[in-house]
Amino acid sequence: MPMDIHFDTIQFEITRKCNDSCLHCCRGEAQNLDLDKEVIDAFFDNNNIVSIGRLLLSGGEPTLGPDAFTYLVNKIIEKRIEVRSFNFSINGKTYDQQFVDALIKLNDYSLSLKAKKYNIAGTFWISENQFHSKPKQEILDQYQHLPFFVPYRFDRLMKMKEADILPVGRALENGLSPHTLNVSEITERGIEHKEINHQGRDCLWLPYLYISSNGNIQNDYGSMYSYDLIDQYSFGNITNQKIEDIVLNKKTNNYRLIKNLKP
């Protein structure tokens, strides 16, 4: 019998498309690739996903993958997966009604699982740092009616510190980071997890997992590394492997079991 799987946080790479070319971008050059429906189907149909504490969206620019995001939201609802919250950022260069409609649908669905005192399930915002240009007012006007949109304020533009810039992707090419990349950390850290028994069911609890557009699995470093590193040092691919097989495969990967984690 497959294990019940619970996520504290899971991040889906909605697309590798981007309509900007930020100097500090950790991803590298954009790619014409959206989160594949085959990846979404395999993830939810071949694994017994029970709950997601926090759903994160990644890119690329998430708003450029409306079809993929819509399909993801519909699959979550179809499978009745508990999603307690969502968070992500966009660059504010575009407004896509299909993307927004899917986000509203996700918010309403998540709220339906909560107590009535809540009115939003999560938030999203426009990036505010020296590498992103100020969005056009007409774009802001379209987003500002959403209760879960964090208002954009140009007057609080945050200057990203050099120490916080990662030495990967375009940032590495432009020499913007003082750090040196230690690739071994990607694999040595492994995928943190804990096996538990809940109400007589074997469960796998993961504090974080990253799903790339092509189905490659990464640990929390996936949210910070370039596309080539995500793919080259993948722990497995969701289209032909189950999550529990990827995470619990200690023979071929140096996975680290964190015994003191509490779900």
Residue 178 β-bridge partners? none
DSSP-derived pairing of the beta strands 201-206 and 194-198: antiparallel
116 in Cβ contact with 145 (< 8 Å)? no
Q: Span 81-98, mean pLDDT?
A: 96
- H/E run at residue 40: helix 37-45
Q: Is residue 141 assigned to a domain?
A: yes
Q: Is residue 256 assigned to a domain?
A: no
- Kindly report the pTM of this predicted structure: 0.91
62 in Cβ contact with 96 (< 8 Å)? no
Residue 213: how many other CB atoms lie within 10 Å: 25
Query: In a 10 Å sphere around its CB, with 0-12 CB exposed, 13-18 middle and 19+ buried, how is residue 202 labelled?
Result: middle
125 in Cβ contact with 152 (< 8 Å)? yes
Residue 183 pLDDT level (bands cut at 50, 70, 90): confident
Residue written as token pair 């019940």: 4
Q: Which two tokens stand for residue 115?
A: 């107590």
Across the chain, what does the average pLDDT equal? 89
Q: Which two tokens stand for residue 46?
A: 């071949």
Q: Is residue 253 assigned to a domain?
A: no
Q: What CATH number is attached to the domain comprising 115?
A: 3.20.20
Write down the number of H helices and E strands in the chain: 8, 9
- Tell which wins on pLDDT, 256 or 224: 224
Residue 113 pLDDT level (bands cut at 50, 70, 90): confident
Q: Is residue 255 assigned to a domain?
A: no
Residue written as token pair 């996975």: 255
Q: Is residue 90 assigned to a domain?
A: yes
Nearest-angstrom CA–CA distance, 94 and 144 = 13
Q: Is residue 220 assigned to a domain?
A: yes
The answer, yes or no, to whether residue 256 has pLDDT greater than 60, is no
Domain that holds residue 184: 4-247
Sign of the torsion angle spanned by Cα atoms 190, 183, 208, 259: positive
Q: Is residue 263 assigned to a domain?
A: no
Query: In this predicted structure, what is the pLDDT of residue 157?
Result: 60
Q: Is residue 122 assigned to a domain?
A: yes
Q: Which two tokens stand for residue 66?
A: 């409306």
Residue 150 pLDDT level (bands cut at 50, 70, 90): very high
Q: Span 60-88, mean pLDDT?
A: 97
8 in Cβ contact with 206 (< 8 Å)? yes
Domains identified in the chain, total number: 1
